[in-house]
Amino acid sequence: MYFESRAQAGQLLAEQLIDKYRYENCAVVALSDGGVLVGEEIAAQLHCILTMLVTEGIEVPGESTMFGAVSQGGNFTYNNEFSTGEIEEYTSEFHGYLDDQRRQAFSRINRLLGDGGIITSDMLRERVVILVSDGLADGAMISVAIDFLKPIRISKLVVVSPLATIPVVDQLHVSADEVHILDVKENFMGVDHYYEDNAIPSHEEVIAKINENILNWQ
């Protein structure tokens, strides 16, 4: 399945959600800049807040594999597709590198967010949280998001994405209350491959857009 743009994919997902959640107390939480473009359409249809959990992924050196991610809260969460043995092996082999990457990632997040950040527990408490991605190649970002949400008393966790791999969908059926995926891929070619229009605003522009949206709800 291919999409004209992330906005079009967001419109298709919104159609699946609007009847059930139009009048619920929801918060759309994007997991990436591209996820914001998907989430904008959903938030517009549900008339709810749109925000983003800022994360920085860390890849295994020399591999296009996500080892884990750092959240804006400073927590590092391992990609739960790895076994305990694999995590121990990577941690032992790349200990200094991973520690350095974690510090750099958290520093970049802090510089980007400035004062206070763009998401708080109060924004999400007692709400239906709709986590939105533009494509889930692995479970790293979902793992860090769920770790971030654990101490927050939310009403329900709904995960939506135009695309996801089979292992991610298996993970979501365990960790989420509800899942909406438009196309499940056995051989994932990379997120951009499935969109004709891959124009995405800069990270700074996305953060500014999110902050403006939040101000409109305060």
Q: pLDDT tens across 123-141, in order?
A: 899 999 999 999 998 888 8
- If you ran DSSP here, which 8-state letter would residue 194 be given? G
146-165 pLDDT, tens per residue? 888 999 999 999 999 999 99
Rg, C-alpha atoms of the chain: 17
Domains delineated in the chain: 6-55+117-217 (3.40.50.2020), 57-113 (no CATH)
Question: Residue holding tokens 């990436």?
Answer: 32
Q: Is the pLDDT of residue 18 over 80?
A: yes
Q: Strands (DSSP E) along the chain, which ranges?
A: 26-30, 49-52, 55-59, 66-71, 76-78, 128-132, 156-165, 178-185
What is the pTM assigned to this prediction?
0.81
Minimal CA–CA distance to 159: which of 42, 59, 7? 42
Pairing status of strand 55-59 against strand 49-52: unpaired
Q: Is the pLDDT of residue 81 over 80?
A: no
As a whole number, the mean pLDDT across the chain is: 87
Q: Are 218 and 29 in contact (CB under 8 A)?
A: no
Long-range contacts, 119-122 (Cβ 8 Å, 24+): 119/29, 119/51, 119/52, 119/53, 119/54, 119/72, 121/151, 121/152
Provide the percentage of residues in the chain whose pLDDT is more than 70: 94
Taking residue 218's Cβ as centre, other Cβ atoms within 10 Å add up to: 6
Question: Residue holding tokens 């790349």?
Answer: 94
